[in-house]
Amino acid sequence: MYLAYFDESGDSGQVYASPTRFFVLGCVLIHEAQWLRSLNRLVSIRRRLNRRFGIKFRPELKASHIKKGRGALDGLGWSRAARMKLFRTLLRLEPRLFDELHTFAVAIDKRRIGTNVIAHELAWRYALERVQTFCRKKEAYATLFPDRGLTHYITKAVRKMRRYHHVGGMFGGVLAIPADRIIEDPNERDSRQSFFVQMADLNAYAAHRSRYIDPLNDGTESLWDELAGSRLLAVNSLRGGPPGIVIRP
């Protein structure tokens, strides 16, 4: 079984009333057999950061906090360059230290969706389809751990897709692909209590501000590439696109 952790980057509101053009949903998949080992390594990393640099152990270490020097970095007075070096280092550690860890992102271009389409609903649909396909090919199952806030919608979507879900075939037609590899309802997690959700947050931001999606040209546009082999390339192997990022519509 795989544990799928999710977090977001960008605003899901309509583009005319939103500061961001894209809404991005990041996912981190951890195999159950590696979960405890991965958690222990995350704990070890945070303790090492605390001992060496004074970075607080318990507060969140999220992308917005690293950008602004808040959260676990509050009061340290680090320069932006130092904070970005930390961000880059954390992403580089993922493919090096974690076995059976895969990450991908779904980016919704809000300029290209109708006013009756909700960005986060569309992102979740595509994300759940990718988790389903990944697990089917692995002959495995997954359970979902989203950040708190949208659990009611996600539960409704999962239950519907489990019983009735159709997608357009790559070569035409419609395929019935129920999400039968996703078990139970989503399990909401407070990101303040989950290092894995915080990891998904870092990855979602790295995808969002990558050179492939919506770069700020401030040094963050290459962050997604630091994830290297942990990126799940299969999510867009048929339609093509950036490595490990699904862009829709």
pLDDT in tens, 3-30: 999 999 988 776 656 788 999 999 999 9
Which comes out higher in pLDDT, residue 204 or 237? Answer: 204
Is a pLDDT exceeding 70 seen at residue 172? Answer: no
**How far is it, in rounded angstroms, from Cα 5 to Cα 17?**
28
Tokens standing for residue 218 = 């401030």
pLDDT in tens, 107-118: 999 999 877 888
Nearest to residue 62, comparing CAs of 50, 54, 74?
A: 74
Q: What is residue 151's predicted lDDT score, i.e. its pLDDT?
A: 81
Tokens standing for residue 72 = 């676990």
Q: What is the mean pLDDT of the chain?
A: 91
Q: What is residue 15's predicted lDDT score, i.e. its pLDDT?
A: 63
Q: Which domains does the chain have, with CATH numbers?
A: 2-47+84-248 (3.30.420)
**How far is it, in rounded angstroms, from Cα 23 to Cα 109?**
7
**How far is it, in rounded angstroms, from Cα 118 to Cα 108?**
10
**pTM, two decimal places:** 0.93
Is a pLDDT exceeding 70 seen at residue 173? Answer: no
Per-residue H/E/C for the chain: CEEEEEEEECCCCCHHHCCCCEEEEEEEEEEHHHHHHHHHHHHHHHHHHHHHHCCCCCCCCCHHHHHHCCHHHCCCCCCHHHHHHHHHHHHHHHHHHCCCEEEEEEEEEHHHCCCCCCHHHHHHHHHHHHHHHHHHHHCCCEEEEEECCCHHHHHHHHHHHHHCCEEECCCCCEEECCCCCECCCCCCECHHHCHHHHHHHHHHHHHHCCCCCCCCCCCCCCCHHHHHHHECHHHHCCCCCCCCEEEEC
Q: What is residue 100's predicted lDDT score, i.e. its pLDDT?
A: 85
Is a pLDDT exceeding 90 seen at residue 164? Answer: no
Is a pLDDT exceeding 90 seen at residue 170? Answer: no
Pairing of strands 174-176, 245-248: unpaired
Tokens standing for residue 36 = 């405890």
- Residue range 233-249: mean pLDDT, rounded: 93
Q: What is residue 99's predicted lDDT score, i.e. its pLDDT?
A: 83
Compute and round to an integer the Cα radius of gyration of the chain. Answer: 18
Q: Which of 41-50, 115-124, 161-170 has the highest mean pLDDT?
A: 41-50
Residues 6+ apart with CB under 8 A from 21: 10, 15, 109, 110, 111, 214
Q: What is residue 171's predicted lDDT score, i.e. its pLDDT?
A: 41
Q: What percent of the chain has pLDDT over 90?
A: 76
Could you give the dihedral angle defined by the CA atoms of residues 2, 11, 87 and 34, in that order, rounded to the nearest 10 degrees?
Answer: -10
